[in-house]
Structure 1
Amino acid sequence: MTGHPGFEDLLRSLAPQVLGVLVRRTGDLDACEDAVQEALIAAVRHWPADGVPSNPRGWLLQTATRRYVDQVRSEQARQRREERMAREPAAGSAPAGDDTLMLLFMCCHPALTPASAIALTLRAVGGLATTEIAAAYLVPEATMAQRISRAKQRVKASGRGFDVPEPGVKDWAPRLRSVLHVLYLMFSEGYTTTQGPALHRADLSGEAIRLAGQVHRILPLEAEATALLALMLLTEARRPARTGPDGELVPLAEQDRTRWDRRLIGEGAALLAATIGSGPPGEYRLQAAIAAVHDDAAHAADTDWSQILGLYGLLDHVAGSPVVTLNRAVALAMVEGPAAALALLDGLDTEDGPLHGHHRVHAVRAHLREMAGDTASALVHYRAAAARTTSTPEQRYLTTRAARLHYSARS
């Protein structure tokens, strides 16, 4: 693919759209995934020499369709499936709309629990590896692989296929919630990658923003869909200041805020304002409000931590989770001091809890211990956090913090 800039990005953006068309036509996610993968391999083989076709999406769709037909011809259900595909438009006349979004709703199937639907969609649409999805859910990779496999089997067994509900029907609200959560997790993984050498994956977070924008345009009166897009934009605005010259992590308190994207902040703030008066705030509206408070502060010292603490309290009530409590502990430390925050952490970091031993708990505890002047304990937790994270930038940051603390204590 040398000499073809953007070649991999093109294939990445087209793959879920082609998969969406095939799944919508056939209802067979496993076979469609295989067919699309074969089409991508064919593109990698032919396009560098022959050139990218004038309609690359149509080329991939036609190739994947042929691969799929070849597969089903050897199965007992060949006649039924081919008749079903024959009723659809020809491969070259695929719908102009974005089938990636349709695939999102297809995967958030009523036969699945929300957790299983989200995992399946992250794999099929977001292109996340099973390891990355497992990290987002705080479970082992093998557990997540089994969950995704069971999700596919459960959809097949339901007999309903990968259908798309109409707005207002019984299944609509839970499907929409799952779709929004998928986009939230996609953005989170792109903004702070859980493993590897880079702090972020702009392609993944950018795709999440694009899809969230489509959901908002289709459903402009859905407050949580609007708020999710606002949250993404308000957070994405800080990306330019999150890394230093060598790609090192720069924490929020130390960022050069003149590098924040004020255009994105303005767009996000306008979207957030549009949700006012639309009923009790949901989890994305509250998170967007927290992001807006951070973005409003010209300097870290100007941050209204009391307002942030109040918003986290509401968020804990609306959509409480260990991660929300962890973030609330940081805000509590800024308002009431590290002792109160450490007490909150003690109730969170239990042996049977999902965050027990997690690197983020150690990192927050290290920060709080450092605030309290307990250098020895802070060092222990910084080192423990560095040993447990799978993100290289985070590991370097935590190791550097520990080293600076160690040498300052000796001097």
Structure 2
Amino acid sequence: MKYLKHFLGITFFTLTIGAIYGYNLKAKESQTTALLTTMEKPAKQYVKIALLLDTSNSMDGLINQAKAQLWDIVNEFTHAKCGNDTRPSLKIALYEYGNDNLSSNEGYIRQVIGFSNDLDEISEKLFSLTTNGGEEYCGQVIQTSLKQLDWGKNADDLKMIFIAGNEPFTQGKLNYKDAASQAKEKDVIVNTIFCGNYQQGISTMWKNGAAITGGEYMAIDHNRQVVHIDTPYDDIIIQLNSKLNNTYISYGSLGRQKKMLQSAQDNNAAEMEAAVAVKRSVSKSSRLYKNSQWDLVDAVEDDESVLEEIKEKDLPTELQGKSEEEIKNYVKEKKSERKKIQEQIQELNAKREAFIAKNQKEEKGELENALLSAIKTQASKKNYKWD
């Protein structure tokens, strides 16, 4: 009996220790899994939009609308919030297709710019587009953008293709249904914009091309002249934009070139129409206009250590020979000045939008209406909201 009690005691002890060890092991495994999940979760959520524009003959109106309304897309997402209450980052890519000047080996398709948040460069690329007759292969340009662009694997990202053109969606050797199916596998929504009669777009399969991925089919008059309404706030916003440019401190090898690009895109917008210049100014006063690669104010906001690493020769003339403390104070002053100007532009824009809403029912252009309508619908399915 004594040995039996001893044996039972050892058995109970062993089982108890085993259970505790097993519990601790499971707890550690749970902690490790939670840690890995946290590490794997993307730090940011993205809105990724690829614009696939037909640049064949007769598409000049479409290109002009895209140039003007880039800033409406940016301004729309300035106030967007993800389901977790964070602000999404916006990336835009641009392709042209159907242009005789492009390589026939590539299917008359060209990536103009990959996914980028450099709004000045995106604007520059849009303004560089020209039209010329050609073959328009919708399926192939969709597939090309799916292969070449980094769409990522975050299920919470909003990923959209907008393809615009005026020829049958069925052109080319690649079946558009296969391309759309590939998009669906990558959680990319294909929205189609037919430049012409609504029913004609349906009969030439533009609507079907969108339906496969749950996207929207839209038909627009791409040659319609967009009528903008002038407001009492436009001139003041444009003047503030000039002051805003003076808060940028260019540095490094890209600095001077990028600052010139900033000014050039201001001019491009102004040459189109004053209202376009105003919309660009509003975009520049938003969180989405970031230039950390060449502007010291944005760079320091992202990482203060940049001032310790930067070489004197990479500084603008006015900061060369200055101490680190003097440079810090100068950057701080420019940041404060910029914030004040941006807030003024945002306040004036709120008044401007109220004025437009009161005095004109329809101020938006055809392409803008199509883009923003689809964006809002599809963003709501990903729990995006606007404030």
Q: TM-score scaled to structure 1, two decimals? A: 0.21
Q: Which has the higher strand share?
A: 2
Greater RCO structure (CA 8 Å; 6+ sep):
2
Q: TM-score scaled to structure 2, two decimals? A: 0.22
Larger CA Rg, structure 1 vs 2: 2
